[in-house]
C-alpha cells in the first residue's frame, strides 16, 4: 500500500503541493483528477522521487521512501509513466524495451508479452521511438514501465493527445492490470472513465486535495460539480 501523509514539495522555493495526504490500497485503481496546473504531475513526480519531498512521508510497503532515490523506488516496485509519451527517441522500440529489461533484470519473454499486448510495438519495433506516433510512444512508455514488473503503476494522463482507438487499447490495459492485482495510480482528464472504474478518486486544486470519494456512476456527477467550480 502507498500511503502519503502531509506531503509538501515544489520547484525551487515555490511550494506547489501543500500537505497532500492520500492512500492507494493494495488492490484497484485510484484516480487523480483536477484542472491544468492543479499539481497532479508534481504529485506523481514527488512520489517517484524526481522532485524532492520537503515535508511529509511517502510510506510504501511499510517504509518511508521519501528520501530514497527514484531508481531505488523503481526497484522496490513503483513504475512511472510521465505525461507526454517519453522514451529514448534515438533508440528503437525494441531497444527501449531491451534496455529496461536489462537494467531491471527482467526476463526477455516480457518483451514478447508487451508486443502481444500492444501489436504496434511488434510491427514498428525496429523504428526509432522518435519516429513513432504519439499513441505508439505512449504504448511503448507503458510497456517499458510494465517490464519492470511493478506492484504500483503510476500513469500521468496516458490518453492525452492520442487517437481514440489507441486510448481505448490503453484503457483496456489499465483495467486488465488493475484486475490482475497491480495497483494503478492514474491521472486522468476524462472524468467518466476514471471515476467509473476507480475504487477511489481524489480531486486536486491548487496543490491540495479538494475532495475525494469512492468510484462509480454516482460519483461522476459529484466530481463534475466540483470541477466546474
Instruction: Give the binding site for ligand ATP (CB under 6 A).
Output: 11, 16, 34, 36-42, 83
Measure the CA–CA gap between 134 and 27, rounded to whole angstroms: 30
Angle between helices 93-103 and 109-117 (to 10 degrees): 140
Name the binder of 85 from Mg ion, ligand ATP, none, CB < 5-8 A by kind.
none
Instruction: CB nearer to ligand ATP: give 110 or 204.
Output: 204
Nearer to ligand ATP, 37 or 107 (CB): 37
Rounded to the nearest whole angstrom, what is the least distance from the CB of residue 107 to ligand ATP in the complex?
34
Q: Least distance from C-beta 84 to ligand ATP, angstroms? A: 9
The one of Mg ion, ligand ATP, none whose footprint includes residue 38, by CB under 5 to 8 A per kind, is ligand ATP
Of 115 and 155, CB closest to Mg ion: 155
CA atoms of 124 and 114, how far apart (whole Å):
13
Q: Cα–Cα distance between 167 and 123 in angstroms, integer?
A: 18
Pick one of 41, 46, 53, 92: the residue that binds Mg ion (CB under 5 A). Answer: 41
53 binds Mg ion (CB under 5 A): no
Residue 90 CB contacts under 8 Å (≥ 6 apart), including other chains: 128, 129, 130
Q: How many helices (H) and strands (E) does the chain have?
A: 9, 10
Q: Which does 11 bind (CB under 5 to 8 A by kind): Mg ion, ligand ATP, none?
A: ligand ATP
* Residue 152 parent element (H or E): strand 152-156
Nearest to 204 by CA among 44, 34, 46: 34
Q: Residue 83 Cβ, how far from Mg ion at the closest point, in Å?
A: 5
Q: Which residue is nearest to Mg ion (CB)?
A: 41
3-state secondary structure of 6: strand
**Residue placing its CB nearer to ligand ATP in the complex, 32 or 93:** 32
Binding interface with Mg ion (CB under 5 A): 40-41, 83
Amino acid at each position: 500500500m502507498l500511503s502519503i501523509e502531509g506531503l509538501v514539495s515544489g520547484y525551487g522555493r515555490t511550494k506547489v503541493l501543500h500537505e497532500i495526504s492520500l492512500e492507494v490500497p493494495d488492490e484497484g485503481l485510484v484516480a487523480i483528477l483536477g484542472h491544468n496546473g492543479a499539481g497532479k504531475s508534481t504529485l506523481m513526480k514527488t512520489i517517484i522521487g524526481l522532485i524532492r519531498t520537503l515535508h511529509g512521508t511517502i510510506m510504501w510497503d511499510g517504509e518511508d521512501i521519501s528520501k530514497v532515490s527514484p531508481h531505488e523506488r523503481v526497484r522496490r516496485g513503483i513504475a512511472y509513466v510521465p505525461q507526454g509519451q517519453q522514451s529514448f527517441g534515438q533508440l528503437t522500440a525494441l531497444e527501449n524495451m531491451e534496455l529496461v529489461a536489462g537494467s531491471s533484470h527482467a526476463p526477455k519473454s516480457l518483451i514478447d508479452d508487451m508486443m502481444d499486448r500492444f501489436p504496434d510495438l511488434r510491427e514498428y519495433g525496429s523504428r526509432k521511438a522518435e519516429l513513432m506516433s504519439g499513441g505508439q510512444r505512449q504504448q511503448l512508455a507503458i510497456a517499458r514501465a510494465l517490464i519492470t514488473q511493478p506492484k504500483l503503476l503510476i500513469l500521468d494522463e496516458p490518453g492525452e493527445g492520442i487517437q481514440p482507438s489507441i486510448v481505448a487499447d490503453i484503457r483496456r490495459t489499465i483495467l486488465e492490470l488493475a484486475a490482475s492485482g497491480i495497483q494503478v495510480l492514474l491521472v486522468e482528464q476524462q472524468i467518466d472513465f476514471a471515476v467509473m472504474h476507480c475504487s477511489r478518486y481524489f480531486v486536486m486544486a491548487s496543490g491540495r486535495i479538494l475532495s475525494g470519494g469512492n468510484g462509480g456512476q454516482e460519483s461522476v456527477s459529484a466530481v463534475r460539480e466540483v470541477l466546474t467550480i
